[in-house]
Structure 1
Amino acid sequence: MTTETKPRVFAPDDRQDYGDDPTAVRQSGKYTTEYVRGFVEKWDELIDWEQRAKSEGRFFIDVLKARGKTSVLDVATGTGFHSVQLLKAGFDVFSADGSAEMLAKAFKNGVDNDVVLKTVHADWRWLNRDVHGKFDAVICLGNSFTHLFDEADRRRALAEFYAALKHDGILIIDQRNYDTILDDGFSTKHKYYYCGDKVSAEPVHVDDGLARFEYTFPDGSKHNLNMFPLRKDYTRGLLREAGFQQIHSYGDFLEEGEEANPDFFIHVAEKSYGDED
């Protein structure tokens, strides 16, 4: 009797599909199909929750508490890292994401961390259709805003974030340092964001309209994300034009200038005028 080894059959939700020309795929809604189940299940290997918590410390907690904010809408919850951290710190958190696979994983991660996430599947461009009420803060983290390729979509999403905030609310939004990637090439310290030491995340294509990253995992699997390479000053300009009155930017959780070449920028945008940090 002989035993044949059958080739692995991929389920429809276990494989990404970019067609014949992956670098031509530049649509805002593509991310919903990029986060296939196989990729989502490995995402926490990339983040490494324990190391991520150590590296960023209380940064977001302190920013929110310093401004007296208690209710938070996490619009890009992903697998739930920041929602869980903020819930444990005593904030009232509502968790949204455009990927149903990510939301399911986030809810499970919440249960595993003894908290229950209030989740909603929502597209940022129509955020207030699915998320009701006003919040002290909206957070959009994990380089998520770069999933929007059309400027009209970016402006619309920011308008939705603005509308979801109370009159003195704040938006916290982050992005990769695409300026350095575009101008000088890619390098990273993997010091703060993607802390998994056995996972690589590197661009395989970069131009002014696309940064295509490939993520390689210990089991040899590879997954990709197509993102728009937002320049820092462009993002700050969009925030101002959306109506935010005061914008303070950090580089890798440090004040501007303290880190010469940060991997990420974090922008804290306030609806109302106030004292500078």
Structure 2
Amino acid sequence: MSQKQNYGSDPTAVRQSDQYQQEYIEQFVEKWDALIDWDKRGEGEGNFFIDVLRQCGAKKVLDVAAGTGYHSVRLLEAGFDVVSADGSPEMLYRAFENAKARNQILRTVQADWRWLGKDIHEKFDAVICLGNSFTHLFSENDRRKALAEFYSVLNHDGILILDQRNYDSILDYGYSNKEKYYYCGDEVQAEPEYIDEGLARFRYQFEGGAESYYLNMFPLRQEYTSKLMKEVGFQRVDTYGDFQETYRRKDPDFFIHMAEKKYHKQ
């Protein structure tokens, strides 16, 4: 793994799904928990995901974007059977260490979503893909393939929970830094350096650090994501805005999609 992020001479031209492997270098991952702030995020989020999963009767959960382990650990502490996957070995190592510090042991799997079935050989009641992670996929074929893989590892009545930034608001009205529920750390500035319909390039500047870090992401629109889920086979998709069922389109920082695999007779 490179010790520096490398976007070449034209960073805004870098629009490939595999780029995340060069973005999550060790130094960036080491600072990631400062961006999240586990305690503040817990206060803002509450038991939203735990409650939703319990209401669905889910017991076995696959966290496909484990990151540094925040949701995997919370679900383990709540009594769920969890498998934690991520494409970044640095993230998985940090997640395992974070869990161990909280007296939990993660079952970790390094996996690419597009070929999830190659590394995951179990069925789950729920798949969660959180932390704006799905926006690392730049091509529609990659997004369709990943969603199909999520669908395939779910039990017949399983649920996919996937979130994304409110890129509709950023694209249509400009960036507003509320960061009330998700990225709650107060020692880091995270804001888009560049945005168009095909790229959201975010810069992360940590307090006391001279170096900035970047993520190139695809700015998914909310209706597009819901439509894609249905086209892949999910029967029903409900979308929340910052954990609320009703919201004005420009207000939420994040959208949370609940996609049911269960067949609903007409």
Q: TM-score range by the shorter chain?
A: over 0.9
Q: Computing the radius of gyration over CA atoms, which structure comes out larger, 1 or 2?
A: 1
**1:187 aligned counterpart, secondary structure:** coil
Unpaired runs of 5+ in structure 1?
1-11
1:236 aligned to 2:226?
yes
Counterpart among 10, 15, 36 of residue 25 in structure 2: 36
- Correspondences of 1:98-177 after superposition (within 5 Å): 98-177=87-166
Distance 2:170 2:249 in 1: 16
Distance 1:185 1:237 in 2: 24
| % same residue | 64
1:189 corresponding residue in structure 2? 178
1:249 aligned to 2:239?
yes
How large is the RMSD of aligned CA atoms in angstroms? 1.3
Task: Give the alignment's TM-score, normalised by structure 2.
Answer: 0.97
Deviation at 1:259, TM superposition (A): 7.9
Distance 1:32 1:124 in 2: 13
Distance 2:187 2:95 in 1: 22
Say if 2:66 and 2:72, in contact at 8 Å, map to a contact too.
yes
Shifted more, 248-257 versus 63-72: the winner is 248-257
Distance 1:198 1:84 in 2: 23
Counterpart among 243, 252, 261 of residue 262 in structure 1: 252
Shifted more, 256-265 versus 228-237: the winner is 256-265
Regions of 4+ moved over 3 Å = none
Query: 1:60-100 CA distances to partner (integer Å, 9 max, x unpaired)?
Result: 00000001000000000000000000000000000000001
Distance 1:139 1:181 in 2: 24
Task: Give the alignment's TM-score, normalised by structure 1.
Answer: 0.93
Deviation at 1:260, TM superposition (A): 5.7
Say if 1:249 and 1:256, in contact at 8 Å, map to a contact too.
no
Distance 1:142 1:174 in 2: 7
Deviation at 1:258, TM superposition (A): 6.7
Distance 1:37 1:13 in 2: 8
Number of equivalences? 264
Deviation at 1:273, TM superposition (A): 4.1
Distance 1:241 1:214 in 2: 33
- Residues 224 and 260 (structure 1), Cα distance of their counterparts in 2 relative to 1, 3 Å cut: closer
- Correspondences of 1:82-97 after superposition (within 5 Å): 82-97=71-86
1:69 aligned to 2:58?
yes
Distance 1:100 1:234 in 2: 30
Say if 2:21 and 2:87, in contact at 8 Å, map to a contact too.
yes
**1:235 aligned counterpart, secondary structure:** helix
**2:194 aligned counterpart, secondary structure:** strand
